[in-house]
């Protein structure tokens, strides 16, 4: 037996997974070139058309499964793939290539796909890179059909660890479901939206591991360590059973902590709300005892859709969630359309304004059904916030003219751009609340591309520059008497959370699955100690110095049992 392959990447979703590899062949598949005779052209085209039909049928089934699981709105992420099965530029062009160049269908479809992708990749923006991935996705489906691969023969029954170059968020919604228990990607950062979805689905993930050796095959045993960012492919029996024990300890820890309180050692109560991306999380949100929803990322309903859902379709989703969680508060964030979250194929300019109005109206109408708040992402100037508030009032009066009832609601903003944190005092005069997005704030402050490769791990929210912005924001909110929560990933990280509490944060919002962990960390913190510690951290020179300072000073008191057991 050959030696195990050990890879190191960014720990993107906590937990340990043990399963069999399923290597997604995108970009790795080797296909053969075959010249065909003129007499074989018709049957080769028939073979290709049959593959198109079979692939379409397979994606249609997946779409129905998604609809059942997450609702019809979210199932439409696969519509773009279905549409491409009738696309002249891909399908007809492949038939033409078979006919004109006398080559086999596998080679022809690959060549056509490469031609389609070239201008998308040349553009360089991650938006067009995602569209190129859509082309790859469909090409992969077609190749699988052409090569006669039976998906049921893949290790689809037991626990599966997906190994991919990258996953789009749309792929992630579809694939991070049982039997998938773990995810490994060659590229990507810890706060990419695919990583967010891994956390949503509770799938341990390591991203940005660099090139996975081409010899890795589907049936190998894989261990994914989502705490330390390590992956072992071809793990020994001993490594597997050790990993299984660690996996079970963490799950038991989450289970045991499920119903415990969020009060610090000195008796300070902390509000721990949940982040949500999909309506299918509602049951888990209710069961978790979360103090409301601190961030509902609405843009996930637009993944790969040509345009967002209608006002009524959105209302349906918002009011279901608001009513179920009432009287707890649900904060709906308007679509955050950047990079990998944008709808497919649309110019964001003019359409975006109309879509925003539609969305605001749906949220305003949903406010009749529960305790609803509206939040704007990526606000960079006070003018933008004031314009957003004017828009809300315009939408409210348009609804009034239509006779549609809507309750009053708070309008707040994400603080996730450095300018917003620096000008927090000014924003606090106009916003009803702040929610701090540490993911973007860290990346923008430290000039690291959030959607880039391994480098994304470099945007460390423990960096003193980020901590200073966090301190400034919570202080400004306190002075103005408005709530200020933290809903970025920092709030779910034990060491960082203890600092946030020390800086004065009393409301946090974390992925549902990590609520028990966040509460346990809260219970292990003494604000009397964490306060001075956090303020000393502001004078450190680096994130590493901050980390050492915290571990040195908080010691055992901060270190809940699972960290001692699980840290790598
Ligand atoms: C953030 O930036 O921290 C945040 C919570 O928003 P998102 O991760 O959706 O960009
Ligand atoms: Mg953000």
pLDDT for residue 70: 85
pLDDT (tens digit, 9 = 90+) per residue, 517-556?
999 999 999 999 999 999 999 999 999 999 999 988 876 5
**217 and 275: one domain?**
no
β-sheet bridge partners, residue 415: 436
The percentage of the chain sitting over the pLDDT mark of 70, rounded to a whole number, equals: 90
Length of the chain: 568
- Does 167 map to a domain? yes
**91 and 133: one domain?**
yes
- Does 158 map to a domain? yes
Q: Pick the catalytic residue: 56, 70, 165, 193?
A: 193
Last residue of a domain, one of 254, 278, 294: 254
Ligand 1 pocket check for 488: Cβ under 6 Å: yes
The residue contributing the CA closest to ligand 1 atom 8 is: 439
β-sheet bridge partners, residue 8: 230
Between CA 530 and CA 508 the distance in angstroms is 16
**269 and 246: one domain?**
no
- Does 568 map to a domain? no
pLDDT at 408 > cutoff 80: yes
- Does 33 map to a domain? no
Beta-carbon contacts of 52 under 8 Å, excluding residues fewer than 6 positions away, are 85, 91, 142, 145
Ligand 1 pocket check for 370: Cβ under 6 Å: no
Domain that holds residue 17: 5-28+151-254
How far does the centroid of ligand 2 lie from the alpha carbon of residue 442, in Å?
A: 10
How far does the centroid of ligand 1 lie from the alpha carbon of residue 441, in Å?
A: 8
Best substitution site from 440, 446, 489, 510 to test ligand 1's pocket, by max atoms within 8 Å of Cβ? 440
- Return the residue matching tokens 């059909």: 145
**456 and 385: one domain?**
yes
Mean pLDDT of 70-80: 84
pLDDT (tens digit, 9 = 90+) per residue, 409-460?
999 999 999 999 999 999 999 999 999 999 999 999 999 876 655 444 567 8
pLDDT for residue 155: 44
**324 and 355: one domain?**
yes
**239 and 382: one domain?**
no
**211 and 137: one domain?**
no
**247 and 266: one domain?**
no
- Domain at 160, CATH number: 3.50.30.10
- Does 230 map to a domain? yes
Between CA 311 and CA 406 the distance in angstroms is 14
Of 294, 287, 281, which Cα lies nearest the Cα of 485?
294
pLDDT for residue 157: 66
- Does 111 map to a domain? yes
Number of structural domains found in the chain: 3
How far does the centroid of ligand 2 lie from the alpha carbon of residue 192, in Å?
A: 10
Last residue of a domain, one of 102, 128, 146: 146
Catalytic residue flag (residue 193): yes
Report strand pairing: 271-276 vs 293-297. parallel
**138 and 274: one domain?**
no
Mean pLDDT of 72-91: 88
Residue by residue, DSSP assigns 274-334 as EEES-GGGHHHHHHHT-SSEEEEEGGGGGTT-SSPPPHHHHHHHHHHHHHHHTTSEEEEEP
Between CA 85 and CA 87 the distance in angstroms is 6
**71 and 160: one domain?**
no
Best substitution site from 12, 13, 190, 191 to test ligand 1's pocket, by max atoms within 8 Å of Cβ? 191
Neighbours of 568 (CB within 10 A): 9
pLDDT for residue 141: 86
Largest CA distance in the chain: 84
Q: Pick the catalytic residue: 95, 395, 487, 540?
A: 487
- Return the residue matching tokens 């009053």: 408
pLDDT for residue 78: 84
- Domain at 426, CATH number: 3.20.20.60
**170 and 232: one domain?**
yes
pLDDT for residue 323: 98
Report strand pairing: 160-164 vs 230-233. unpaired
How far does the centroid of ligand 1 lie from the alpha carbon of residue 440, in Å?
A: 6
pLDDT for residue 153: 42
Ligand 1 pocket check for 197: Cβ under 6 Å: no
Q: What pTM, to 2 d.p., does this model score?
A: 0.88
Catalytic residue flag (residue 85): no
The residue contributing the CA closest to ligand 1 atom 1 is: 437
**195 and 322: one domain?**
no
How far does the centroid of ligand 2 lie from the alpha carbon of residue 508, in Å?
A: 15
How does the average pLDDT of the chain come out, rounded? 88
């Amino acid at each position: 037996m050959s030696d195990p392959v050990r890879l190191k990447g960014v720990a993107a979703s906590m937990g340990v997974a043990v399963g069999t590899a399923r290597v997604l062949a995108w970009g790795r598949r080797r296909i053969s070139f075959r010249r065909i005779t003129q007499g074989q052209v018709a049957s080769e085209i028939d073979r290709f058309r049959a593959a198109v039909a079979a692939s379409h049928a397979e994606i249609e089934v997946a779409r129905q499964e998604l609809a059942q699981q997450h609702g019809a709105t979210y199932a439409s992420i696969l519509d773009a793939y279905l549409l491409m099965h009738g696309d002249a530029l891909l399908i007809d062009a492949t038939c033409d290539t078979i006919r004109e160049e006398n080559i086999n269908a596998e080679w022809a479809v690959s060549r056509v796909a490469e031609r389609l992708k070239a201008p998308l990749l040349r553009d360089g923006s991650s938006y067009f890179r995602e569209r190129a991935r859509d082309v790859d996705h469909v090409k992969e489906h077609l190749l699988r059909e052409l090569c006669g691969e039976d998906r049921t023969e893949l290790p689809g029954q037991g626990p599966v660890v997906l190994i991919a170059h990258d996953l789009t968020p749309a792929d992630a919604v579809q694939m991070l479901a049982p039997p998938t228990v773990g995810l490994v990607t060659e590229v990507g950062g810890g706060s990419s939206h695919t990583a967010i979805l891994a956390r949503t689905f509770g799938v341990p993930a390591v991203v940005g591991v660099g090139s996975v050796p081409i010899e890795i095959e589907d049936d190998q045993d894989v261990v994914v360590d989502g705490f330390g960012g390590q992956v072992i492919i071809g793990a020994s029996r001993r490594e597997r059973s050790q990993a299984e024990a660690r996996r079970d300890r963490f799950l038991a820890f989450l289970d045991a902590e499920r119903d415990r309180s969020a009060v610090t050692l000195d008796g300070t109560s902390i509000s721990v709300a949940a982040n949500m991306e999909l309506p299918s999380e509602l049951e888990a949100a209710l069961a978790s005892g979360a103090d409301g929803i601190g961030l509902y990322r609405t843009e996930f309903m637009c993944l790969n859709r040509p345009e967002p859902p209608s006002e009524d379709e959105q209302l349906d989703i918002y009011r279901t969630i608001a009513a179920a969680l009432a009287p707890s508060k649900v904060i709906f964030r308007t679509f955050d359309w950047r990079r990998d979250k944008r709808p497919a194929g649309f110019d964001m300019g003019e359409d975006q304004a109309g879509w925003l109005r539609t969305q605001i109206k749906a949220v305003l109408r949903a406010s009749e059904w529960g305790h609803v708040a509206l939040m704007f992402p990526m606000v960079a100037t006070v003018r933008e916030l004031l314009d957003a508030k004017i828009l809300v009032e315009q939408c409210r009066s348009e609804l009034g003219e239509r006779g549609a009832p809507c309750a009053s609601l708070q309008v707040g903003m994400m603080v996730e751009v450095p300018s917003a944190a620096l000008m927090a005092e000014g924003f606090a005069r106009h916003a009803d609340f702040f929610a701090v997005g540490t993911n973007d704030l860290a990346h923008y402050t430290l000039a690291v591309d959030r959607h880039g490769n391994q480098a994304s791990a470099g945007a460390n929210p423990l960096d003193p520059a980020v901590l200073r912005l966090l301190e400034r924001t919570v202080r400004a909110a306190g002075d103005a008497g408005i709530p200020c929560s933290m809903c970025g990933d920092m709030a779910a990280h034990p060491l960082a959370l203890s600092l946030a509490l020390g800086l004065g944060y009393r409301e946090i919002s974390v992925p549902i699955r990590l609520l028990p962990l966040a509460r346990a960390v809260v219970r292990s913190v003494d604000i009397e100690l964490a306060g001075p510690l956090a303020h000393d951290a502001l004078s450190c020179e680096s994130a590493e110095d901050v980390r050492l300072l915290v571990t040195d000073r908080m010691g055992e008191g901060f270190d809940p049992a699972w960290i001692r057991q699980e840290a790598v």
